[in-house]
Amino acid sequence: MAGKTSDNLDELAEINVTPLVDVMLVLLIIFIITAPMLVQGLNVNLPKQDAPSIAAESDKPLVLTLNTDRIIYLDDEPIHLELLGDRLGAALAGQPRPVYVKADENLPYGFVIKVLAILDKVGVEQVGMVTLPEDR
């Protein structure tokens, strides 16, 4: 009888890790699938420039994103170039707010100047060009 009792204890002392591994693999797959969805914003290849950062202000700035396909986004909403002035005028509502421009570095210079000219016509006084820090 003593021998049978020790055999039962040996079987109980072993931990079955198969369910643990299954759960961990399922969690790993879930994290791999959902991690890219957590990234917010639009993918723009920003130019690199060594410049000081702009101090945070009380007014929330408007963000204009210009991608390589010459599509303009005003706070993640696509806008045609001809309608940009009207939309900016409505968004500003006569109050001075800074506008940050995130332009892809591969865009033609003339297109960016057209957008900056529209900002000037609407009366935007503070324009910030968003860049990435330069690698040293």
Residues 80 and 112 in one domain: yes
CATH at 104 = 3.30.420.270
Residues 70 and 114 in one domain: yes
* CB-CB contact of 123 with 134 (8 Å): no
Q: Taking 60 as the threshold, does the pLDDT of residue 3 lie above it?
A: no
What are the pLDDT digits (tens) for 37-79? 766 666 777 777 776 665 544 467 888 888 888 888 888 888 8
* CB-CB contact of 61 with 100 (8 Å): yes
What are the pLDDT digits (tens) for 100-111? 999 888 888 889
pTM above 0.85, yes or no: no
* CB-CB contact of 100 with 64 (8 Å): yes
pLDDT of 86 reads 87
Structural domain total, the chain = 2
Tell the residue number behind the tokens 């914003």, with chain if given.
Answer: 41
Which domain, by its residues, includes 31? 2-38
- The Cβ of residue 114 has, within 10 Å, a number of other Cβ atoms equal to 15
Q: Which H or E element spans position 89?
A: helix 84-92
On whether residue 44 sits in a domain, the answer given is no
